[in-house]
């Protein structure tokens, strides 16, 4: 791994546990100033303690619930006030939603938490970001994205299809960001099937998480950390990675016209310029 870390500022969303926390610990160990974003205050504080134990310095903590877009807007304002430059934005926050749910903003929850919220945050910070890494998933294979109907999953809700659609959106968003923002290298990646808090409210999912050979969060975070550190000249801008290698996502996650449509639809839905 070519180590480009130094005293960079790295913002990690979904940093309270799982891949996000593992990445934050690793990056802080390498000398980066990590900034943790999470939803639950207690777990966020605990994550901050874990990072401090690693690097001897307590990271900045920002609470934001991606199911509430006003939280995302406030987060962007606070980050802009705090940092002139964000060397790496790791859009890692996400959720598998087991029951159909509509947010206070009127969007299907997994689509908002996994795509629209990070899309909004990234756009509001675009002039400050040096590099963007997006946690996607091989689950994009189950996606059925229709940019003209971002709430389509609510009509016949299937948790993994809704999740897969949001992950399909992650890959398309990353590729389109690379096209629209040539000065901001952007990459998405599949972390593998990782043992995290996902699905904890379901006994069946929780049992599977205990019994099946899932990856550790540290293993899942390896590609995120690698993408944050590599010289961009050695990477494919807008590319999708798994186990530190470029991979070809399914065609529905690699269609530039669909990516452009998704960007336009997302910007319109959020009331920002596309």
Count the neighbouring beta carbons within 10 Å of the beta carbon of residue 132. Answer: 26
CA 44 from chain centre, in angstroms, equals 17
Judged on CB neighbours under 10 Å (0-12, 13-18, 19+), 177 is buried
CA 136 from chain centre, in angstroms, equals 7
Active site (annotated) includes residue 163:
yes
Catalytic site residue from 163, 187, 240, 241: 163
Residues involved in catalysis: 163
């Amino acid at each position: 791994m070519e180590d480009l870390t130094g005293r960079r500022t790295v913002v990690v969303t979904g940093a309270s546990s799982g891949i996000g926390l593992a990445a934050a610990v690793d990056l802080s160990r390498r000398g980066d100033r990590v900034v943790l974003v999470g939803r639950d205050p207690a777990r966020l504080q605990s994550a901050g303690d874990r990072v401090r134990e690693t690097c001897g310095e307590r990271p900045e903590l920002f609470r934001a619930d991606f199911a509430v877009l006003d939280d995302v807007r406030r987060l962007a304002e606070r980050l802009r006030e705090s940092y002139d430059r964000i060397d790496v934005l790791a859009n890692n926050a996400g959720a598998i939603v087991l029951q159909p749910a509509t947010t206070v903003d009127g969007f299907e929850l997994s689509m908002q938490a996994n795509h629209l919220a990070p899309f909004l945050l990234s756009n509001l910070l675009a002039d400050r970001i040096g590099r963007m890494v997006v946690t996607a998933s091989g689950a994009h294979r189950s996606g059925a994205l229709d940019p003209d109907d971002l709430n389509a999953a609510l009509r016949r809700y299937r948790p993994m299809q809704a999740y897969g659609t949001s992950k399909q959106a992650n890959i398309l968003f990353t590729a389109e960001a690379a096209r629209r923002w040539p000065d901001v290298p952007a990459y998405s990646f599949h972390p593998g099937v990782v043992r995290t808090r996902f699905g904890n409210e379901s006994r069946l999912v929780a049992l599977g998480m205990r019994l099946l050979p899932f990856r550790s969060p540290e293993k899942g975070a390896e590609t995120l950390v690698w993408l944050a550190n590599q010289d961009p000249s050695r990477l494919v801008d807008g590319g999708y990675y798994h186990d530190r290698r470029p991979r070809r996502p399914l065609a529905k996650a690699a269609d530039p016209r669909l990516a452009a449509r998704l960007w336009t639809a997302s910007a319109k839905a959020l009331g920002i310029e596309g």
